[in-house]
């Protein structure tokens, strides 16, 4: 009978030791999984914020698209001289924009403006999108400083994706460096 007790005690001891090893193993893997879940949660939160931002931009664009096209004005390199890699408004551009703002005030209509920034094909696609956005934003800020309400304007960059002339000539590239203002009712 003592052999049976010894075997039982040995069996219980072996099972308890294996249970401890399994518990440590599980605890390590649970901690690893919890770390991965926390990391993925942060990524999901960042994606959720970007999605919310994109939705807000899409809703603003949708409001503009509901309007009826009235007319457009193009600020291209032949008349306003956008620098090759810049977004500064030349004195010519500022004069044309001031005239445009005066026309909007004279018309005295509640219109919406979509300000589109475009570039030539030199540079990277991402860089061209940023440059197109900077050009459109420069126009938007100038117009706001001259009395056009910010909630009446939105900007979008097309980068080099919508050329109006071939990019293989100097004149073509100059024509593609432009800002287009779309006026909608």
Q: How far apart are the C-alpha atoms of 184 and 66, rounded to whole Å?
A: 9
Higher local confidence (pLDDT), 124 or 17? 124
**Secondary structure element (H or E) that encloses residue 31, with its range:** helix 2-65
181 touches 140 (CB < 8 A): no
Q: How far apart are the C-alpha atoms of 157 and 97, rounded to whole Å?
A: 19
Amino acid 35: pLDDT: 72
- The tokens of 130 are what? 């940023």
CA atoms within 13 A of residue 96's CA, in its CB half-sphere: 18
- pLDDT exceeds cutoff 90 at 160: yes
Tens digits of residue pLDDT in 103-129: 888 887 788 999 999 999 988 999 999
Provide Rg for the chain, Cα atoms.
Answer: 31
- pLDDT exceeds cutoff 70 at 47: no
Tens digits of residue pLDDT in 163-183: 999 999 988 888 888 899 988
Q: How far apart are the C-alpha atoms of 161 and 159, rounded to whole Å?
A: 6
Helix, strand, coil share (%) of the chain residues, nearest 5: 65, 15, 20
Higher local confidence (pLDDT), 165 or 16? 165
Overall pTM surpassing 0.85 (yes/no): no
Higher local confidence (pLDDT), 134 or 172? 134
Amino acid 68: pLDDT: 78
**Fold for domain 68-184?**
60s Ribosomal Protein L30; Chain: A; (3.30.1330)
Amino acid 8: pLDDT: 62
Q: What is the SS3 assignment for 78?
A: helix
Strand partners for 182? 72, 114
- pLDDT exceeds cutoff 60 at 18: no
- pLDDT exceeds cutoff 90 at 29: no
């Amino acid at each position: 009978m003592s052999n049976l007790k010894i075997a039982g005690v040995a069996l219980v001891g072996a099972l308890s030791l294996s249970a401890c090893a399994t518990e440590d193993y599980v605890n390590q893997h649970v901690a690893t999984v919890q770390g991965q879940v926390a990391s993925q949660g942060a990524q999901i939160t960042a994606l959720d914020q970007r999605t919310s931002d994109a939705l807000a931009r899409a809703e603003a664009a949708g409001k503009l698209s509901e309007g009826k096209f009235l007319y457009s004005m193009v600020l291209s390199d032949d008349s306003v001289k956008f620098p090759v890699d810049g977004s500064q408004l030349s004195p010519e551009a500022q004069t044309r924009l001031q005239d445009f703002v005066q026309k909007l005030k004279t018309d005295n209509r509640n219109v919406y403006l979509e300000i589109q920034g475009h570039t030539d094909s030199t540079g990277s696609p991402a860089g061209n999108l940023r440059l197109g956005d900077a050009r459109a934003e420069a126009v938007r800020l100038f117009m706001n400083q001259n009395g056009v309400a910010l909630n009446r304007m939105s900007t979008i960059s097309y980068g080099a994706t919508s050329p109006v002339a071939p990019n293989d000539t100097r004149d073509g590239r100059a024509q593609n460096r432009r800002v287009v203002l779309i006026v909608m009712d």
